[in-house]
Amino acid sequence: MTKTCDQATRAFVIRTVRSALAALALSALTTPAAAQSDPPEWTRPIPPVRLIGPIDYVGTEGLAAYLIRTRAGAILIDATMAQNVPAILRNIAALGVKPREVKYILVSHAHFDHVGGLAAMQRATGARVLAGAADVPALRTGIPPGETNYGVIRFAPVPMARGVRDGQVVRLGGVELHAVATPGHTPGCTSWTMRVTQGSRPLDVVFPCSVSVAGNRLFANRRYPAIAADYRTSFARLARLPADVVLPAHPELADVRTRARTGTLIAPGLLRDMVLRARDDFDREWMKQGRIAK
């Protein structure tokens, strides 16, 4: 990077720190006390991690953000929490990418731990924000969809968010990402898939949206009545999805960085195993909540 580029990047980071602090203050005003005890690894900065093809890990220790570099700019998947935005921007800069070279921010789902920093990140990059259409109202208002057992954790609104439909393709610089609707965790929960090549071998990469219950109300959810049926549909769909490499929003679910370090990112069958475990957890939670609801 040139000195001028470094100065420009630092200026972006300074402005973004201010935006992130403002967003964090807004969130704190409406966040239940119990929910403010987030795992420390969610906000623990780490250096970027090289993954596979054009994909790098630029998130924190416990929350994933993935950068996909192309000849026409970059695509970022998720922005994580508001206080993480400066660290993510530093990681992006460390890879030689200027903030304004990020052309798209793709969203997995509208919960604070994945989109709390989205507004600040969009301002820093000027990127287009794309999310599952059913999550767009939540993004534009900053009010998460559905009902939970931990209350409402707001985040900074993202009024410029735009919706994508199932099967829609995002193209940039020869790279294609396909939107796969996998609702349940949120109504617009969206998994993203792409194809990379290692040597002469084509590989299917999946960025799965969450399929955990994680406090969601499965019964009498007035804001999301179809939640249970959507979960079951998404379990079946994700389990059938071709996946050689799995890169989830919570990296520990697939041991992403450990696999990158040990050269074991290619793991056909991993996604199916993850989904089956999540389905078993869902069934147990369904029975538990069902007994309480009676």
pLDDT tens-digit series, residues 171-188: 999 999 999 999 999 999
Tell me the average pLDDT across 23-36: 46
Residue 37: per-residue pLDDT = 80
- Judge whether 127 and 85 are in contact, CB under 8 Å: no
The CATH number given to whatever domain includes residue 83 is 3.60.15.10
What is the pTM (predicted TM-score) of this model? Answer: 0.89
Residue 18: per-residue pLDDT = 52
191 DSSP β-pair partners: 180
Tell me the average pLDDT across 33-38: 60
Give the phi and the psi of residue 55 in degrees, each rounded to 5.
-105, 130
Residue 292: per-residue pLDDT = 85
Residue 175: per-residue pLDDT = 98
Does the pLDDT at position 29 exceed 90? no
The whole-angstrom separation of Cα 113 and Cα 31 is 12
**Structural domain of 87:** 3-293
Average model confidence (pLDDT) across the chain? 91
Q: Which of 201, 249, 265 is nearest to 50 (CA)?
A: 265
Residue 293: per-residue pLDDT = 75
Residue 262: per-residue pLDDT = 98
Does the pLDDT at position 23 exceed 60? no
* Lowest-pLDDT range of 5-14, 34-43, 149-158, 180-189: 5-14
Structure tokens at 213: 């219950």
Does the pLDDT at position 67 exceed 50? yes
Residue 231: per-residue pLDDT = 98
| C-alpha separations of 8 from 12, 74, 89, 113, 272 in Å | 6, 18, 12, 28, 44
Q: Give start and end residues of each alpha helix (H) in the chain.
A: 3-29, 85-94, 112-115, 118-125, 136-141, 227-240, 256-262, 270-293
Residue 6: per-residue pLDDT = 56
**How many CB atoms neighbour CB 220 within 10 A?**
9
Total domains in the fold of the chain: 1
**What angle is formed at CA 202 by the lines to CA 114 and CA 244, rounded to 5 degrees?**
50
pLDDT in tens, 191-220: 999 999 999 999 999 999 999 999 999 999
